[in-house]
A and B are shown apart, each in its own frame.
Chain A
Amino acid sequence: MKQLSLKKMIIFITLLFTFIGEKSYTNTFNFKTVLDSAFTAYNKKDYKKAIQFYHQIIDSGFASAYLYYNIGNAYFRTNEIAKAILYYEKAKLLNPKDPDIEHNLKYANALISDKINELPEPFYITWFRQITYLFNANTWAWISISLFLLILVLIYVNFLSSSLFFTRLIKTIATFIFFAWIFSLSTTYYTYKYSASKKYAIIMSKVVEVKSSPDENSTSLFVLHEGTKVYIKDEFEEWLEIKIADGNTGWLKTTDVERI
């Protein structure tokens, strides 16, 4: 009787996770054919058409790292470097460690006019960022849940066991996993913030004068060109307060940028 109740519960949990878990597309829209035609269009150097096809998929609300990567390539080939960078950055959010995405983004960035010296940052922040790049936001979320569940399982096993040695071993392992869980929580939060908050944007206008305040008549502080990545600090009506890699800040119009 008791064994049965345990089994039931496991089945119940599994079902629960299956239902509210990540829904894969069940759309009637045939992605496969659209993707194929986009691919052939690209190979025939009809990049404009390939971009159209890829946008059909994105407009229906679905994407993947390599889809963004491909559309970035198509934009690159039509000489729209800023758009290409935008989509490479989007791809990088979903797949931060992919060498091809990294390479193309680097290459496109070498072609833009603004060369900004990045502010040096403490080594531990660099390390932390490098670790967060290992997985995307959702993968980190899964990792943190799994680690938490593992801790609970260990607690339960520990409760069942009567052997002293075994108990100690489990306790040590559980402590390690606990710290790993805490860490994964922070990376989950960071990657989520990074990708969901849309705090980064790419300059889309050819030339933008960055103003000292959200006002057309205020002093121009510096000039940015298309393709430069900026961090959005604040918003006011149709103005954005941005910060560039060298630490300079200023205001520009919302229409001058596109968020990653």
Chain B
Amino acid sequence: MKPLQIILLLFILSRITAQDIVFKATAPSTVSTGSQFKVIYTVNAKPSSFKNPSFEPFEVIMGPSTSSSTSISFVNGQMSQEISYSYTYYLSTTKEGKFTIQPAEVIVNGKSYKSNSLQIEVIKGNANPPTTNNQAPSNTTNPSANISNEDVFLRINVNKNNVYQGEQLVASVYIYTRLNIVGFEEIKFPTMTGFWSKDLETPNQIQLKQEYINGQLYNVGLLKRVILSPNRSGNITIEPVQATVVVQQRVQSRRRSIFDDFFGTYQTVSKKLVSPPVTIQVKALPPNQPEPFSGGVGSFSLETSVNSNNLKMNEAFNYTIHLKGSGNIKLLDIPKPKFPSDFEVYDPKITENINTKEGITQGSKSVSYIIIPRHHGQFTIPGITFHYFDLNTKTYKTIQTQPIHIHVSKDSTIAATAVISEFAKKDISMLGTDIRHIKTNVEPLKKIDYFLFQSILYKSSYPLALLILSLLLYIRKEQIKQRSNIMAMRNKKANKVANKRLKQAKKFLNEQNSEKFYEEINRALWGYLSDKLMIPVSELNKEIVIEKLLNKNLNNDFIKELFDTIEICEFARYAPSSITIGMNDIYNQASKHINELEDKI
């Protein structure tokens, strides 16, 4: 219909001479709410001014944009010139009904002309106008968005707004559109601060579903799904999702050309979208939390098992804790059982089998310990106490598993127990991690900060000790000096004493008292030697005397004679009968020896 009208119009226009001013307004007779349409005012002369009417209740989205065209044609030698000026407005409205746009006014050559008025019927909008044209759209991206926020928008949907700390919820990001979306330039998903989050799988290709919102049909596409588990209480806001979409839009050409009308023009428009933020109310878990709390929120069951209860020493076995249920399985701690201390326990192997169905994660988690008992006997692995928060009853629940008894028998095949004892020792040293006990006996107590080093005693002890030593040495020296004085005196008197003794001996000789005589001779000789050679009586003996005499250069014969005489005297005292030499001779010899010694020393 439309193209025909325009052809007709063009036909008429071409027939009009330059003097006939034609001022016309064109617009679609029916439009839908929310969609844009063009109102074009065309005049076939150069106007000096243009006055547009009020477009109420329409909204001017763009315009006026003016354009002009001139065509000159020669037909049978006659030149005809055609001028066309057009003013284009893009309008849109949300109201339904029939509206009239009053005529516009132009002034050409001082004369005012009025256009026709326009009747426009607005009907309820339809998201995607069916593409009547199967022509390829022109790819001119128009960044200036003339797309309303109702045509396309983002929204974050959560399945729960009010949760407990640790409870899981699912947040989904949807795009709602009534336009033809070509693609996304950029999607920015927020970082989920305050949550533990895990992305759920979403199809690579966005599948659009149709949905009515406020009576309008929208195409809805799921962009992202994520499981959230708040890790603190209070109001936590999920930050908005930001995206830039590229929308393909059909535009009507300003130029009235047959071809344009045939082909239609599509332009792609990019539009920045921001979703409204979503706030989640997170309730704190009730107080009186049992210790140790696993952090589990949901519903769980816990089992423990061993693969063998009856085994031999040094034989490995498995101890497995199996947790099943739904909730934040991934996040919770499974308590470590208290194994008997002489079990060798290796680091556990943790396997998880978790899947998500309808926004609830469920599955199982098992912790498997490999244990080697190093001793024989009966052992008990105590049960595990597991506390969690049950969402159904809104209370804390406790699972208590049964203790497991293990019988370890002696291993007769292994004779060498060295390795085993080594492990046992290790365990003992590992257990001793505390300070040692106080001492019962703290005495003797001493004065605090008393230092011998700086005491008078210490400082004086050195000079004092030296003083004592020198004193002792001095005394000793004095003693020696004194003693040597005595010796000198005795030396001087030696001859005198000897003569005195000899005289006494002579007296005994005359009395024929042989015993006394020999004794006196003996004393005379020894006494003389002692005094003369300065040998104390206590140290007097034959060897020392001989040594001293030899030192004084006395010959051997003399010494021999001297000691012969002494010997005879000693003999005679105890066995007088054996003596052959007369007492007179002895007396003479003795006095002779003394005289000789007196001369020679």
Partner-contacting stretch, out of A119-127, A187-195, A207-215, A239-247: A187-195
Residues of B455-473 at the interface with A, using a CB-CB cut-off of 8 Å, are 455-458, 461-462, 464-466, 468-469, 471-473
| Residue interface mask B228-239, A partner, CB < 8 A = 1 | 000000000000
Is B434 a contact partner of A107 (Cβ separation < 8 A)? yes
Q: Which residues of A contact B446 (CB under 8 A)?
A: 22, 24, 62-64, 138
B476 contacts chain A at the CB level, 8 A cutoff: yes
Report the bound CA distance from A74 to B438 in whole Å: 8
CB <8 Å contact, A138 and B450: yes
Which B residues are CB-close (under 8 A) to A145? 458, 461-462
User: B442, B454, B461: which has the most chain A beta carbons within 10 Å?
Assistant: B442
A149 x B465 contact (CB < 8 A):
yes
Q: Does B443 contact A (CB under 8 A)?
A: yes
Which of B437, B444, B458, B465 lies in contact with A73, CB distance below 8 A? B437
In the complex, what residue of chain B is closest to A193 when comparing beta carbons? B453
Which residues of chain B have C-beta atoms less than 8 A from A188's C-beta? 453
Please tell me if A228 contacts chain B, counting CB pairs below 8 Å. no
CB of B43, distance to nearest CB on chain A (Å): 81
A39 at the interface (CB under 8 A from B): yes
Name the residue of chain A whose CB is nearest to the CB of B478: A2
Complex CA distance for A58 and B442, rounded to whole angstroms: 12
Contact assessment for B435 and A108 in the assembled complex, using a CB-CB cutoff below 8 Å:
yes
Instruction: List residues 407-438 of chain B with CB under 8 A from any CB of chain A.
Output: 433-438
Assess the A196–B449 pair: CB atoms within 8 A.
yes
How many chain B residues have a CB neighbour from A under 8 Å? Answer: 39
Say yes or no for A236: interface residue by CB 8 A criterion: no
B542 contacts the other chain (CB 8 A): no
Let me know if A155 and B479 touch, CB within 8 A: no
A64 CB to closest chain B CB (Å) equals 5
Q: With A31-B445, A62-B445, A100-B436 as given contacts, are A22 and B452 in contact (CB-CB < 8 Å)?
A: yes
Which residues from chain B contact A66 at a C-beta distance below 8 Å? 439, 441-442
User: In the complex the two chains form, what is the Cα distance from A9 to B444 in whole Å?
Assistant: 31
In the complex the two chains form, what is the Cα distance from A214 to B44 in whole Å?
93
Report A130-142 CB contacts with B as 1/0, cut-off 8 Å: 0000000110111
Look across to chain A and name the residue whose beta carbon is closest to the beta carbon of B457: A20
Closest to A57 in B: B445
Q: Once bound together, how far apart are the Cα atoms of A74 and B447, in whole Å?
A: 22
* Structural contact, A67 and B458, CB atoms closer than 8 A: no
Q: Which of B450, B461, B462 contacts A22 (CB 8 A)?
A: B450
Flag if B472 contacts A156 (CB, 8 Å).
yes
Flag whether A35 is at the interface (Cβ < 8 A). yes
The smallest C-beta distance from B438 to any residue of chain A, in angstroms, reads 4
Is A189 in contact with B453, judged by CB distance below 8 angstroms?
yes
What is the number of residues of chain A that contact chain B, defined by CB distance less than 8 Å? 53
Which partner residue on chain A sits nearest B473 by CB separation? A159
Residues of A159-202 whose CB lies within 8 A of B: 159-160, 188-189, 192, 195-196
**In the docked arrangement, what's the CA distance between A31 and B442, Å?**
10
Bound together, the chains give a CA A140 to CA B454 distance in angstroms of: 13
Q: Does chain A have a CB within 8 A of B440?
A: yes
List of A residues within 8 angstroms of B471 by Cβ: 9
Q: Judging by beta carbons under 8 Å apart, are B438 and A70 in contact?
A: yes
Given the interface contacts A25-B447, A58-B448, A189-B453, does A107 sit within 8 Å of B433 by beta carbon?
yes
B449, B450, B452 — which one has the most chain A CB atoms within 10 A of its CB?
A: B452
A137 contact set on B, CB distance < 8 A? 451-453
Report whether over half of chain A's contact residues are helix, strand or loop; otherwise say mixed.
helix
Q: Which of B472-489 contact A (CB under 8 A)?
A: 472-473, 475-476, 479
Distance (whole angstroms) from the CB of A51 to the closest CB of chain B: 12
> In the complex, which residues of chain B have a beta carbon less than 8 angstroms from the beta carbon of A141?
451-453, 458
- A140 CB contacts on chain B under 8 angstroms: 453
CA A91 – CA B441 in complex, angstroms?
14
Identify the closest chain B residue to A196 (Cβ): B451
Instruction: Enumerate chain B residues within 8 angstroms of A69, measured Cβ to Cβ.
Output: 438-439, 442
When chains A and B are docked, how far (Å) is the Cα of A103 from the Cα of B449? 24
Cα distance A37–B452 when bound, in Å? 31
Complex CA gap A58/B458 in Å reads 25
Binary flags per residue of A13-25, CB closer than 8 Å to B gives 1, else 0: 1001100111111
Separation of A31 and B446 alpha carbons in the complex (Å): 12
Interface assignment of A148: CB less than 8 Å from any CB of chain B: yes
Give the docked Cα–Cα distance between A141 and B457 (Å): 11
> Which of A61, A107, A195 is in CB contact (< 8 Å) with B451?
A195
Q: A5-B475, A6-B472 are in contact. Are A103 and B436 (CB under 8 A)?
A: yes
Of the residues B435, B445, B476, contact of A64 by C-beta under 8 Å:
B445
Given A58-B448, A145-B458, A155-B469, 14 other A-B contacts at CB below 8 A? Answer: A9-B468, A13-B468, A20-B455, A20-B456, A21-B457, A39-B438, A61-B448, A64-B444, A137-B451, A137-B453, A141-B451, A141-B453, A159-B473, A196-B454
16 A-B contact pairs sorted by A residue (CB < 8 Å): A2-B475, A16-B464, A20-B455, A24-B444, A57-B445, A62-B445, A70-B438, A104-B436, A107-B434, A107-B435, A137-B452, A138-B446, A141-B452, A149-B461, A156-B472, A159-B476
Binding site for B on A (CB under 8 A): 2, 5-6, 9, 13, 16-17, 20-25, 31, 35, 39, 42, 57-58, 61-64, 66-67, 69-70, 73-74, 76, 100, 103-104, 107-108, 137-138, 140-142, 145, 148-149, 152, 155-156, 159-160, 188-189, 192, 195-196
What 10 A-B pairs have minimum CB-CB distances, sorted nearest first?
A: A141-B452, A192-B453, A66-B439, A62-B445, A66-B442, A70-B438, A67-B442, A104-B435, A138-B452, A152-B469
